[in-house]
Amino acid sequence: MKPNKPVIIGFLLILSITAFAQNVGAPPEYIKAITYQWKGERFDDGRPKVPDDLLERLKKVPIEAAWSVLRNRGYECQFEGDWTVLFPDQAMTGRVVTAQYMPLRPDLDEWVKAQGKKENRSNPPTNSWPIDILKNGDVYVADSYGKVQDGPILGDNLGNAIYAKSKRGVIVYGTVRDPEGLKMIDGFNSWSKGIDASFLQKMMLTSINTPIRIGHATVLPGDAVLAKSHGVLFIPAHLLEEVVVTSEVTQIRDEFGWARLKEGRYTPGQIDSQWSEEIKKDFLEFVKKYHGTLPMTPEQFERYMRERNW
């Protein structure tokens, strides 16, 4: 009897976890196993390589619209709010690189440093290791368990290194330091749980590119991230196109509804309920004459409509 797909996936995941147990950084096989629903291009490290154009379009998507799509798909735990943001008026998107920090335990810290040497990582301090692997478009996402005093995992020196490699910023479930210096890095931004003048002590890096918890959210390497002033949303790579296109169409539907209500052509009840065939036809004509260039491709729009039986 042929084993079913969940059994095969579970078996591969167990094998990859066993292989990973001897690494600081997750091997490609492990990352591929936990992001198995992504069918597109990948980086050499195994992370999904979501398209740049989707990340750029994602900046214009309201977090509420994107999160609504995820929640409808059963992804309830992808949002975290209440951040200290360096530049609140600047949105950030990118591909996630994760790092996990824990309170210092000397024996484990000694193993991490020895293993890092075997993996040809740079000499300690280990908080530079996640930065070493960043690529253009990556966002460094770190769980430093909300530590404040003696908790900042980066300041302006590492901030410069991060931006030089990724042209992005950081999301830290903990603290950063040197805000004046960080603000001088043109294009850099940070989301943290606070800013403190101390520096990292009694902490250790334990893993890179493994699943981590950021407040209420579970985050995987290769997720797409949408960070704005009021919160951060982590989007599974295989759902990014659906999130972006659905949110874009929703915005156009809203514009259509506002325009027709202003004209008095339909009542609020007609716009806010299930659309009649007449309204659907009118909407498609509205799209054809849309005042701006559609953000999605015609193929993406047609697929969206087809999937909804229009």
Burial class of residue 123 in the structure, from the number of CB atoms within 10 Å of its CB (0-12 exposed, 13-18 middle, 19+ buried): exposed
Cβ atoms 193, 146 nearer than 8 A: yes
Query: Residue 276 pLDDT more than 70?
Result: yes
- What is the chain's mean pLDDT, rounded? 93
- At 21 the pLDDT is 59
Cα 296 to Cα 310: distance, rounded to the nearest angstrom: 17
Domain ranges of the chain: 5-34, 77-235, 241-307
- At 291 the pLDDT is 72
For the entire predicted model, the pTM comes to 0.89
pLDDT tens figures, 71-121: 999 999 999 999 999 999 999 999 999 999 999 999 999 999 999 999 999
pLDDT tens figures, 246-270: 999 999 999 999 999 999 999 999 9
**CATH number belonging to the domain at 77-235, selected among 3.50.30.40, 1.10.10.60, 3.40.47.10, 3.40.50.300:** 3.50.30.40
Residue type, 187: G
Query: Residue 20 pLDDT more than 90?
Result: no
pLDDT tens figures, 152-184: 999 999 999 999 999 999 999 999 999 999 999
pLDDT tens figures, 140-151: 999 999 999 999
Residue type, 206: T
Q: What is the mean pLDDT of residues 281-305?
A: 88
Residue type, 99: A
Q: How many CB atoms lie within 10 A of CB 164?
A: 12
Tokens 């990014």 belong to 240
Cα 75 to Cα 72: distance, rounded to the nearest angstrom: 7
Q: Which run of H or of E encompasses 225?
A: strand 224-228
